[in-house]
Structure 1
Amino acid sequence: MSTFAIHPENPQPRLIRQVCDRLQEGAVIAVPTDACYALACLPGDKTGADRIRRIREVDETHHLTLLCRDLSELGVYAKVDNSAFRLMKNRTPGPYTFILPATREVPRRLQHPRRRTIGLRVPDSPIVSALLAELGTPLMSATLQLPGDDTPLTEVWEIEERLGHAVDAIIDGGAGTLEATTVLDLTGEGVEVVRHGLGDAAFLDE
């Protein structure tokens, strides 16, 4: 297991490339986002996705989330109508995860098995943005919250102590938040708040 100390505002390109090389080799990493830390791997890495689910102790009905660079990428992986697009445009980049119908570009094993939906988000994070730009592809992710814990892991030393045996690399970008993203389900006629998190959902009542 390797720890990469990457500057949260000005990520070092050399270190970003090293992390991306590890991901291309099939690594599962812990990465800081604009909310809490997340577990991540490449979306085509079935073994990596299975490892993330084992760490989290969740089954295939738990949405994994695609981290995307911008809204144009969201349209490749999700079916987005005009109202959903407007809402997302006003809230991205930021600490929101959107549940949307998946397109055929998303492997079936990454979709919710019954609903055929996928979680998508555009983080406001220079580190994540640099990784996605270098990779040229989204990352598959899940909140780094371990079974039985009330909050996500936020300190790098604790991630190393508790997950050093289970992940291949950790990006030390400083302490994360104790809150995950706000999850908004956009598959129905209205917007359903699935999880209240760091993103403010009060705009839905306006």
Structure 2
Amino acid sequence: MRLYLHSDNPEPRLVKQLVEKLKGGSLLVLPTDTVYAFVTLAQNKDSIAQIQRIKDLPKHKALTLYCRDFSQMSTYVRTQGNQLFRFMKDILPGPYTLIFDAAKSLPHYAVTKQNTVGIRIVEHPLIAALLAQLDLPLMGSSLDLPPEDMHDFEEIADRYESRVDAVVECGPVSGAYSTILDVRTWPPTLIREGLGAVPEGLPEA
């Protein structure tokens, strides 16, 4: 199934359709502010396992939790004080993935063996519209394609629509991965440089 939504103002009827699919356990391919990603609700264990099968990932390989805002994020991670919060307010929402120690509220299949989780607060109208209607965060992982191949929606749909419940277009994606920062210690550690500008002076892993 392919769906085409307005890039700036996703149609409420189609957003609701996607919300119902997610609540029913569906796995979707959605655009983000970086690349296309496999996305499901964080509670959908079977769909998370399907992402791992499609990408040939080992269990406990890190997936990303997409949160609506800082309040929702705080339910699922152990944060480290006001200095980190001020830092996050400066860069989010935006093209960053932040690595946290996971809170006990996350199921075991959603975290790594080190009990960490990657968090994103995405600056994209469709992701925002979906999260506004969902009580739980989304969980996902970028498609197993190089970033330069993320621009051809029809080719992406041809490749994946038989393995997911819907492939959705909602404007172009940037075609660059997010910048990954480990924020478990201060200052954060740069894990991967991507679309998000790297603050000066951060140590690298």
Per the TM superposition, whether the score is higher than 0.5 is yes
Partner of 1:70: 69
Indicate how the Cα distance of structure 1 residues 54 and 154 shifts in structure 2: closer, same or farther if over 3 A, else same. farther
Secondary structure of the corresponding residue to residue 120 of structure 1? strand
Secondary structure of the corresponding residue to residue 59 of structure 1? coil
Partner of 2:162: 165
Aligned residue identity for 2:76 = Y
- Report the Cα distance in structure 2 between the residues aligned to 1:188 and 1:151, rounded to whole angstroms: 33
Partner of 1:127: 126
TM-score (norm 2): 0.92
Q: Counterparts in 2 of 1:172-183, with a 5 A limit?
A: 172-183=169-180
1:188 aligns to 2:185 (yes or no): yes
Indicate how the Cα distance of structure 1 residues 150 and 33 shifts in structure 2: closer, same or farther if over 3 A, else same. closer
Indicate how the Cα distance of structure 1 residues 81 and 11 shifts in structure 2: closer, same or farther if over 3 A, else same. same
Secondary structure of the corresponding residue to residue 101 of structure 1? strand
- Report the Cα distance in structure 1 between the residues aligned to 2:144 and 2:149, rounded to whole angstroms: 4
Runs of 4 or more consecutive aligned structure 1 residues displaced over 6 Å after TM superposition: none
| Deviations 1:21-49, CA, capped at 9 Å, x for gaps | 11112111011111111110011111100
RMSD: 1.7
Q: How many residues align?
A: 202
TM-score (norm 1): 0.92
| Deviations 1:142-183, CA, capped at 9 Å, x for gaps | 11234xx46563321111111121111011112212211111
Kept in 2: contact 1:155–1:176 (CA 8 A): no
List alignment gaps of at least 5 residues for structure 2. Answer: none
- Report the Cα distance in structure 2 between the residues aligned to 1:39 and 1:19, rounded to whole angstroms: 13
List alignment gaps of at least 5 residues for structure 1. Answer: none
Indicate how the Cα distance of structure 1 residues 27 and 152 shifts in structure 2: closer, same or farther if over 3 A, else same. farther
- Report the Cα distance in structure 2 between the residues aligned to 1:70 and 1:41, rounded to whole angstroms: 18
